């Protein structure tokens, strides 16, 4: 059981509608296994009430429903920008969908089609609402997993939300009471802005910094509507003040001079005879010197 699985979504007897919106490009592929282990599986266990089992089925109307949306980049043409899985009440089957994602393409793109993924997710929540008319309000969560900022292009494939930009889509998510969360292997300011714009209107007080639930200091994990194990890796701890180093007191100059041993000065050599200095002149073949010059001189 994941810590916090007894949270509000489970304690009040509410069922949940959960949509994972995942970037299906090669930009996310190398990091997906770590994100799956540390964040996605704990999130599924939170809504499932425990680890997924092959026999877990909550029913089409009375249990938690899971759906998967995989979006790409513009280089996937002529293929569709989005692949969507129909909702399932089996957490085990949902995990098999995650394991079957093929992360391809997008290596030459710096952005991804987040607007296409979120517009499809909103259509799924509209379908959930029609399907849940008999049981009333549900706990709705949209989890975005990506490693790229969004294009500035509006959604085009959605029939209901065509022309909506990424920012307008996350605002609609917040206005409808859908809890929006983001998991990314990098700290991207554009994704944090989306998380802030998706805040529900009821949150009149200033946004508080989200709890530290990342398992790696490079990850960005911003969650609403679910509880994940606290990792404590996204922010460094407080800096410890530097401790002064005690040095021995320096001796005074007078004490140092008195403590130094007195070394006797070396004796000055005495020269009692004449000093002879010999100068070697270069050979006449190299320089033109007068032939009458003496090669040795003496002085007293």
pLDDT of residue 200: 83
pLDDT of residue 238: 41
> Is the domain defined by 8-222 classed in CATH 3.40.50.410?
yes
Domain locations along the chain: 8-222
Q: What angle do CA 295, 298, 300 make, to 5 degrees?
A: 170
Q: pLDDT tens-digit profile of 143-166? A: 999 999 999 989 999 889 999 999
Q: In terms of DSSP H, where are the helices of the chain?
A: 8-11, 29-35, 41-48, 91-99, 114-131, 166-175, 189-197, 253-259
pLDDT of residue 259: 56
Q: pLDDT tens-digit profile of 48-75? A: 888 888 877 665 556 899 999 999 888 7
Environment class of residue 100 by beta-carbon count within 10 Å: exposed (0-12), middle (13-18) or buried (19+)?
Answer: exposed
Phi, then psi, of 11 in degrees rounded to 5:
-70, -35
Residue pair 145/20 in contact (Cβ under 8 Å)? The answer is yes
Environment class of residue 281 by beta-carbon count within 10 Å: exposed (0-12), middle (13-18) or buried (19+)?
Answer: exposed
Cα gap 64→138, rounded to integer Å: 9
Global pTM reads 0.71
Q: pLDDT tens-digit profile of 286-295? A: 444 445 444 4
Indicate whether 28 pLDDT > 60: yes
The two tokens of residue 269 are 């050599």
Cα gap 155→80, rounded to integer Å: 12
Environment class of residue 29 by beta-carbon count within 10 Å: exposed (0-12), middle (13-18) or buried (19+)?
Answer: middle
């Amino acid at each position: 059981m994941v810590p916090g699985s007894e949270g509000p979504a489970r304690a009040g007897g509410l069922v949940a509608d959960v949509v994972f919106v995942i970037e299906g490009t090669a930009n996310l592929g190398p990091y997906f296994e770590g994100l799956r282990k540390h964040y996605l599986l704990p999130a599924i266990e939170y809504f499932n009430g425990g680890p997924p089992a092959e026999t877990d089925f909550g029913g089409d109307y009375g249990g938690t429903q899971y759906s998967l949306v995989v979006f790409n980049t513009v280089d996937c043409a002529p293929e569709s920008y989005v692949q969507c899985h129909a909702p399932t009440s089996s957490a085990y089957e949902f995990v098999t969908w995650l394991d079957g994602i093929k992360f391809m393409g997008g290596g030459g793109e710096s952005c991804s089609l987040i607007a296409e993924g979120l517009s499809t997710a909103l259509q799924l929540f509209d379908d959930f609402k029609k399907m849940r008319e008999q049981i009333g309000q549900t706990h709705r969560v949209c989890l975005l997993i990506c490693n790229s900022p969004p294009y500035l292009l509006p959604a085009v494939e959605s029939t209901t939300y065509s022309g909506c930009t990424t920012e307008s889509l996350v605002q609609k998510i917040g206005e409808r009471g859908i809890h929006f969360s983001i998991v990314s292997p990098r700290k991207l300011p554009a994704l944090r802005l989306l998380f802030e714009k998706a805040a529900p209107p009821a949150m009149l007080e200033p946004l508080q910094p989200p709890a530290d639930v990342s398992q790696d200091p490079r990850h960005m994990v911003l969650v609403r509507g679910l509880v994940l194990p606290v990792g404590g890796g996204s922010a460094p701890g407080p800096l410890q003040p530097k401790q002064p180093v005690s040095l021995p007191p320096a001796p005074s100059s007078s004490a140092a001079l008195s403590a130094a041993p007195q070394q006797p000065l070396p004796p000055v050599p005495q020269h009692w005879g004449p000093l002879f200095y010999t100068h070697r002149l270069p050979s006449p073949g190299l320089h033109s010197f007068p032939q009458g010059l003496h090669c040795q001189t003496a002085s007293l």
